Chains A and B, each alone.
Chain A
């Protein structure tokens, strides 16, 4: 992905504005994925109770997964020049151990953008949406890169 300085700055600003560890979207990212696209639950058999929306929303392993993913996105922003390199190990993990269809990376990326829109409200302009969609698309591609 070509690095665009204003993209890097804007993304850096909007992500620095919130500490990842207590960033509200981190709390709900994976919940949203599992509730809106229930078939994604197939990858989380060992997460315990996912039997209902409230079970999913209260599940601590699901919350932890969301925080892990958001931290990864923070790393992505610091490595936009070389997303494929930065995500090589994670890509191998998702292919060889987790067996996750890369389509799910696109779904999760889209859910993240929606959650950010809800967090930032009117500030989440079309241009800001475009920048974040570009980032999540880059991450999804990087995560799929080592699939074989």
Chain B
């Protein structure tokens, strides 16, 4: 459960991303694939070296889902239920991969916000994204 302060930090950072989901999503995926190449095994349809257009398309989808989570921090399970079904039944991404995506998310936020990415913001986003990951993998068994 996020505190009011934590929810405020999450919303504040989301202001930077809103409207630019494709660009941020593409950067997120590029960092993920560069730093953790094994994650590409879940994106076979993008090929060995996904091009910019593919990263933008898929990145937008991922960040838009994060946006849904941001709007519904109080009832993540309900809001993300269809996505949780998708991950459990179709995508079946090993849960060990979510911390890697979360790390890349933090690095991306830090490189854009620099000094404004305070320790409280990092703590709030880490808690939030970890909760999202738990919800997305909860129906696995």
Binds B, one of A4-12, A27-35, A67-75, A91-99: A27-35
Tell me the B85-113 residues at the A interface (CB within 8 Å).
Answer: 103-104, 106-108, 110-113
In angstroms, Cα B112 to Cα A118, docked, is 7
Q: Bound complex: CA of A69 vs CA of B35, how far in Å?
A: 23
B64 at the interface (CB under 8 A from A): no
Asked if B119 and A35 make an inter-chain contact with CB atoms under 8 angstroms apart, the answer reads yes
**In the complex, what residue of chain A is closest to B36 when comparing beta carbons?**
A133
Q: How many residues of A contact B (CB 8 A)?
A: 23
Task: Say which one of B43-51, B76-84, B120-128 lies at the interface with A.
Answer: B120-128
Tell me if A90 is interfacial: C-beta within 8 Å of chain B: no
Q: Which residues of B contact A124 (CB under 8 A)?
A: 107, 110-111
**Chain B residues whose CB sits within 8 angstroms of the CB of A130 once the complex forms:** 34-35
A129-B119 contact given A113-B103, A118-B113, A124-B107, CB 8 Å threshold: no
In the bound complex, do residue B119 and residue A117 qualify as a contact, i.e. CB atoms below 8 Å apart? no
5 examples of A-B residue contacts, CB within 8 angstroms: A36-B122, A117-B111, A126-B27, A127-B34, A129-B34
Interface residues of A, Cβ cutoff 8 Å to B: 28, 31-32, 35-36, 53, 57, 110, 113-115, 117-122, 124, 126-127, 129-130, 133
